[in-house]
Amino acid sequence: MSTMMKKRKRHVSKEDVALTISSSLGEYGENSGTLPMDLMVEILSRVPAKSAAKFHCVSKNWNSLLRSSYFTNLYLTRSPTRPRLLITFQAEGKWSFFSSPEYLISDQNSNLVVVDNHMDVPKDYSFGVCEPVCGLLCTRDEWVLSRKKDARMMICNPSTRQFQSLPKVRSRRNKVITYIGYDPIEKEYKVLCMTICERPYMFKAEEHQVLTLGTGKLKWRMLKCFVEHFPHHKEICINGVLYYLAVKDETREDIIVCFHVKHEKFQFILNKAPLSTLINYNGKLGGIRHGFMEGGVAGYELWDLDIEKEDWTRHIHILPPMWKQVVGETRVYVVGMIGTSEIVFSPFVKSNPFYIFHLNIERNSITRVEIQGTGPLEGQQVYTFINHIENVKLIM
């Protein structure tokens, strides 16, 4: 075989997993091997991520199994059935990530959720956080906000308590906007980055670059984008397409940019509403016109979209009478949607006690949910995410 040929990653099949588990169980006595292999895989794929992380220490065989692409992909397919609440904020020189157990307020009918601390990342400068995608997060604009030459964006996996710095973006510009997407076909995570040209009364994205995670040495690759636009920090990834809001450079029209993660191609559609927040509306793209709301708001518009047909459907909703009393003067933004009936809101700033709000659009009712476990700190900018899923994939 020529030495010039690239080494291919060995694909771990179900048969490989069977051999691994069989040899692993043999270490625990004669009767241990009677547990069916398929049942063992089922059990391991359903345990919490913290437990799966501990199982790496059981033996070399178990460590190999839990690191295999077969197992991590299987675990990822099961995780969406166990959605979690994720909260992160910066305080006292570190970023802290908190997560709840399975989070479905509608089913639990509870007004209280207790979260656990997943990980702390030591940082002496602030940064934003992208919308989580399949369990991973990417920091946003870290290089710009910090004003430090050595600052870099990073990837975080709260489930495995890991974080990894990304290569520095090489550019003469001093502003960058970043998003993370996931391709469910190739099972690849990609980070999309754009440097921003700032001129008086004119901003636009330049130097579009993409980076694929899990490919050994990480490296930014240049992309071509034929429509000049200025992106906003409002994004969501659904079924392999990363959507974000933007303004077209020439016409100043509001648009929605569709970045197809697998093929690394851009698509542009007119933001007719125009929407201020993008949401996952039961597996398809939806949006809400209001970027933020408070007690004095009387109603809102909810839209669902058919991207292929560019068909927009508007739903006008009047807020329940209790909205003003429950939310009061708290300034809240739309976190996302659970199914097609429940919209979740969160304050911009951490408070003590800390509440998020659930609006059930079928019953037209509002519920205030107290979040405990994040500590007594207050006044910090807080990022709240719903439908966060656990991922046991190691990023290093």
Considering only the C-alpha atoms of the chain, give the largest distance between any 2 of them, rounded to a whole number of Å: 75
Q: What is the per-residue pLDDT for 307?
A: 83
Query: pLDDT digits over 9-66, tens only?
Result: 444 455 554 544 444 444 433 444 456 667 777 888 888 888 887 887 877 877 888 8
**Mean pLDDT confidence for 335-345:** 88
Q: What is the per-residue pLDDT for 293?
A: 81
CATH superfamily of 82-388: TolB, C-terminal domain (2.120.10.30)
**Mean pLDDT confidence for 350-378:** 92
DSSP 224-244: ---S-EEEEEEEEEETTEEEE
Contacts 24+ apart (CB under 8 A), 282-287: 282/337, 282/339, 282/340, 283/238, 283/239, 284/238, 285/236, 285/238, 285/243, 285/256, 286/337
CA dist 135 and 201 (Å) reads 37
In the chain, which residues fall in CATH 2.120.10.30? 82-388
Query: pLDDT digits over 110-131, tens only?
Result: 688 889 888 888 876 667 889 9
Q: What is the per-residue pLDDT for 292?
A: 73
Q: What is the per-residue pLDDT for 1?
A: 42
Q: What is the per-residue pLDDT for 347?
A: 95
3-state secondary structure 187-204: CEEEEEEEEEEEECCEEE
Provide the pLDDT confidence category of residue 396 given band limits of 50, 70 and 90: low
The share of the chain scoring above pLDDT 70, in percent, equals 83
Q: What is the per-residue pLDDT for 151?
A: 66
Q: What is the per-residue pLDDT for 71?
A: 86
Mean pLDDT for all residues in the chain? 82
Q: What is the per-residue pLDDT for 2?
A: 41
Structure token pair of residue 254: 């509001």
The predicted model scores a pTM of 0.86
Query: pLDDT digits over 166-200, tens only?
Result: 888 877 777 788 999 999 999 999 999 988 887 66
Structure token pair of residue 175: 């502003």
In the sheet that holds 342-347, the strands lie side by side as: 112-114, 365-372, 354-360, 342-347, 332-338, 292-293
